[in-house]
Every structure is written in structure tokens, then in C-alpha cells.
Amino acid sequence: MTLATEVKKLTDSKPFYAVAGAGDFAVEKLRELPEQLRKLQSRRYELVSELPERTRAAADKAEGLARELPEKAREYADQLTHKATEVYEDFATRGRKVVSKASGEAALELEEVSEAAEPAVAEPVEPVKKTRSTRTTRTTKA
């Protein structure tokens, strides 16, 4: 394949568009960054004064979450496993239907073609008559 064909195949693919969309989103967020920095700089003294209180609250929350984390992680893992299995099974079922339909259509098409085809008829062959040769062969000595 030529390079142009490979590039065309790449640019027509879903992953290509996903990467382009992620890049566009990143550019949008980077453009917003200077304004966000200005806002944070204007509030820096206020944020610093709130820091000890916020740190204590975050530590308390983290402690509670740490106790729940193994149980929550198992729950999420079970849900994810269940969902992945469900999606896999749906795809497998769908795939079976598609293959069955395609192979069924192919079988019907083959049957129709074979029914429509006329059987080949061999042409009669005339028997070969044996005749005696009237020529005599000479052998020459050198």
C-alpha cells in the first residue's frame, strides 16, 4: 500500500478522531489556565488562611475513606467485572447472529445458484475407426 493509502486509513479511524478530540480539549483547558492562575493569585492570602482547617477536614475524610476503601474497591471491581462480562456476552451473541445470518445467506445464495445452473451435458463422442495404414516405412542404413 502507498503512504497516502495508509494515511487515509488512519485518518478515517475512530482512534484518530479520539486523539484529535483529546488534543482539542487539552488546548481549550490550557487557554483557560492563565485566567485561572490570575484568580488564584488574587485569592492566595485567603486560601493560605483556610489551609490548616481544610487540611484537618481532608485528613478526617481520608481516614474514613481508608477504612472503607477495601470494601468499596471490591464493590467497584465486582461491578466492573460484571459489566465487562455482560458486554462481552452481548458482543458474542451479536457476533453469532451476524455470522449465522451471513453464512445462512451465503448458503441460500449457493443453493439458488446451483438450482439455476443447468447441468453440463457431454457432447456425444464419435467412435474412432481403426484404419490400416497403407504406407510402408523404409529404413535407411547409413
C-alpha cell at 64: 474514613
pLDDT of residue 95: 76
**Distance between CA atoms of residues 91 and 84, nearest Å:** 11
* pLDDT tens, position by position, 16-70: 677 778 878 888 899 999 999 998 888 888 888 888 898 888 888 888 787 888 8
Mean pLDDT of 114-121: 67
pTM of this structure: 0.35
**Distance between CA atoms of residues 97 and 91, nearest Å:** 10
pLDDT of residue 8: 74
pLDDT of residue 88: 82
The contacts of residue 47 (CB under 8 Å, 6+ apart) are 40
Q: Where are the alpha helices (DSSP H) in the chain?
A: 3-11, 14-42, 44-116
